[in-house]
């Protein structure tokens, strides 16, 4: 019903501890690159969607100062937030605006400077993004604790080991070593991970994604304009979205995320992908590995493995290039870094470049189907976004 929408430009800042820049400067690293890639000028932009979770900085209206620094003041604008899935939600609303004909070209940018907060504060702030009243205030749960609950439930039920978890970290650090934008562009050994200190048993330091400053941006355009701007648009083929209870005590199980399953099914249905065998349709995926256990659960929620068999995929190294489906060739949240609102957009940036065959040697997937998947989770499964990007023009918009 709506118009087809494509990514026509991508931008990505260096992720890491970025005390060298303020928020608008950091965002502009990504914005400038995305505009240059798209070959457009600021005047061509009809809508600016800013993803920003914030809370780490004193700046009340970060999107406004970002737009001002980038010379975009005056454009239609708003801020999107869906916890750690903010970036994908921002892409969704911009997609909808272009599909509806409310904008021809939209800029989507996600930025966080999380290291502006002292470490205890940032951990507390993220902890509030579960169920605040019962689980944070009364039980003292923070995010490593939440995902440790998932990990223990999963290990107990299916027999996965701490070594299986660490193998996810080893893979993601391996691919990050080829990605100069990653916060930790270096390999780690299995032993390093296994010997790292416990944060929340069974999760160790190397099972956890870091506190990251970073920005990512994409330019979206309608079919007509996309085909004028580029010979290789990457189409947004389907966006599946769902949400989950804020109370972990109300989840039916702790070994998977119900919202992610629903979002994946919705995206597969729209894209015409067989949910029983999605790996036959996809060249690669970026999944939300905020903790190593989360990547293993994602394999199952997305149908890459049967329930209870996700850990075998990493044990058998099937999510490396050459395996059943390569996952997190960017380094993932784990090693590339996780600046909350930038993460979903960073996935879109990296998958676009992967599909176009232009990422760094060593981490470029083989592109056969021309399709890639982004899996982006907010909270502990409070929001789930699954987006399918494609080199082929979707049958319907």
Active-site residues, by number, are 84, 338
Residues in contact with a second copy, counted by CB under 8 A, come to a total of 63
Binder to a second copy among 192, 232, 243, 364 (CB under 8 A)? 243
Joined tokens for residue 219? 């330019």
Joined tokens for residue 42? 């600021």
Q: Is 259 in the site for a second copy (CB under 8 A)?
A: yes
d(CA 314, CA 240): 25
| Piece of the chain touching a second copy by CB under 8 A; list 53-61, 344-352, 355-363, 365-373 | 53-61
Q: Which is nearer to a second copy, 73 or 277 (CB)?
A: 73
Q: Is 102 in the site for a second copy (CB under 8 A)?
A: yes
Joined tokens for residue 220? 């979206």
Q: Which is nearer to a second copy, 69 or 158 (CB)?
A: 69
DSSP assignment of 178-196 equals T-TTSSS-S---HHHHHHS
Beta strands in 189-342 (DSSP E): 198-200, 203-204, 213-222, 234-243, 284-286
β pairing state of 5-12 and 213-222? antiparallel
| Nearest-approach distance from CB 81 to a second copy, in angstroms | 4
d(CA 262, CA 385): 9
d(CA 333, CA 208): 9
d(CA 308, CA 155): 9
Count of CB atoms within 10 A of residue 60's CB? 8
Binder to a second copy among 19, 20, 39, 100 (CB under 8 A)? 100
Output DSSP code: residue 66.
Answer: H
Phi-psi category of residue 322: left, alpha or beta, with phi > 0 → left and psi -120 to 50 → alpha: left
Q: Which is nearer to a second copy, 169 or 386 (CB)?
A: 386
Q: Is 123 in the site for a second copy (CB under 8 A)?
A: no
Q: Is 297 in the site for a second copy (CB under 8 A)?
A: no
| Nearest-approach distance from CB 101 to a second copy, in angstroms | 3
Closest by CA to 291, choosing from 201, 214, 372, is 201
Q: Which is nearer to a second copy, 369 or 393 (CB)?
A: 393
Joined tokens for residue 387? 């987006």
Q: Is 218 in the site for a second copy (CB under 8 A)?
A: no
Q: Which is nearer to a second copy, 329 or 340 (CB)?
A: 340
Q: Which is nearer to a second copy, 258 or 323 (CB)?
A: 258
Q: Is 187 in the site for a second copy (CB under 8 A)?
A: no
Q: Is 245 in the site for a second copy (CB under 8 A)?
A: yes
Site for a second copy in 22-51 (CB under 8 A): 47-48
β pairing state of 203-204 and 198-200? antiparallel
Binder to a second copy among 42, 93, 158, 321 (CB under 8 A)? 93
Instruction: Count Cβ atoms within 10 A of the Cβ of residue 134 and give its class: 0-12 exposed, 13-18 middle, 19 or more buried.
Output: middle
What are the beta bridge partners of residue 7? 220, 234
d(CA 234, CA 223): 11
Q: Is 241 in the site for a second copy (CB under 8 A)?
A: yes
| Piece of the chain touching a second copy by CB under 8 A; list 164-172, 237-245, 300-308, 346-354 | 237-245
Binder to a second copy among 6, 70, 82, 114 (CB under 8 A)? 82
Q: Is 159 in the site for a second copy (CB under 8 A)?
A: no
Residue with tokens 């690669």: 284
Q: Is 292 in the site for a second copy (CB under 8 A)?
A: no
Joined tokens for residue 38? 């798209």
| Piece of the chain touching a second copy by CB under 8 A; list 129-137, 150-158, 288-296, 350-358 | 129-137
Binder to a second copy among 97, 105, 285, 355 (CB under 8 A)? 97
Q: Is 356 in the site for a second copy (CB under 8 A)?
A: no
By the criterion CB under 8 A, which residues form the site for a second copy? 1-3, 47-48, 58-61, 64-65, 67-68, 72-83, 85-86, 89, 92-93, 95-97, 99-102, 125, 127-133, 136-137, 239, 241-247, 258-259, 262, 378-379, 382-383, 397
């Amino acid at each position: 019903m709506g118009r087809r929408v494509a990514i026509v430009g991508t931008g990505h800042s260096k992720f890491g501890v970025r005390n060298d820049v303020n928020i608008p400067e950091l965002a502009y690293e990504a914005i400038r690159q995305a505009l240059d890639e798209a070959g457009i000028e600021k005047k061509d932009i009809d809508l600016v969607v800013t993803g920003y979770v914030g809370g780490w900085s004193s700046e009340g209206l970060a999107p406004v100062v970002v737009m001002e620094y980038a010379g975009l003041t005056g454009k239609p604008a708003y801020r999107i937030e869906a916890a750690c899935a903010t970036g994908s939600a921002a892409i969704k609303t911009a997609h909808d605006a272009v599909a509806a004909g409310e904008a021809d070209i939209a800029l989507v940018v996600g930025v966080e400077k999380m290291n502006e907060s002292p470490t205890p504060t940032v951990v507390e702030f993220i902890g509030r993004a579960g169920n605040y009243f019962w689980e944070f205030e009364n039980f003292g749960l923070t995010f490593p604790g939440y995902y440790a609950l998932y990990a223990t439930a999963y290990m107990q039920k299916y027999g996965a080991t701490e070594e299986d978890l660490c193998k996810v970290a080893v893979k993601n650090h391996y691919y990050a070593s080829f990605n100069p934008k990653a916060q930790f562009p270096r390999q780690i050994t299995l032993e390093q991970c296994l010997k790292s200190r416990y944060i929340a048993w069974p999760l160790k330091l190397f099972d956890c994604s870091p506190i990251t400053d970073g920005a990512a941006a994409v330019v979206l355009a309608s079919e007509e304009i996309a085909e004028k701007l580029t010979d290789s648009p990457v189409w947004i083929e389907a966006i599946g979205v769902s949400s989950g209870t804020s109370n972990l005590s109300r989840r039916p199980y702790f070994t998977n995320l119900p919202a992610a399953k629903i979002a994946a099914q919705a995206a597969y249905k729209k894209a015409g992908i067989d949910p029983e065998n999605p790996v036959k349709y996809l060249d690669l995926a970026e999944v939300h590995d905020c903790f190593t256990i989360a990547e293993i659960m994602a394999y199952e929620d997305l149908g890459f493995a049967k329930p209870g068999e996700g850990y075998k995929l990493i044990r058998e190294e099937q999510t490396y290039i050459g395996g059943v489906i390569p996952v997190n060739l960017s380094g993932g949240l784990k090693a590339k870094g996780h600046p909350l609102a930038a993460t979903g957009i960073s996935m879109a940036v990296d998958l676009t470049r992967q599909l176009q065959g232009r990422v760094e040697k060593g981490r470029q997937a083989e592109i056969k189907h021309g399709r890639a998947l982004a899996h982006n989770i907010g909270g502990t499964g409070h929001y789930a976004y699954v987006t399918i990007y494609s080199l082929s023009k979707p049958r319907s918009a």
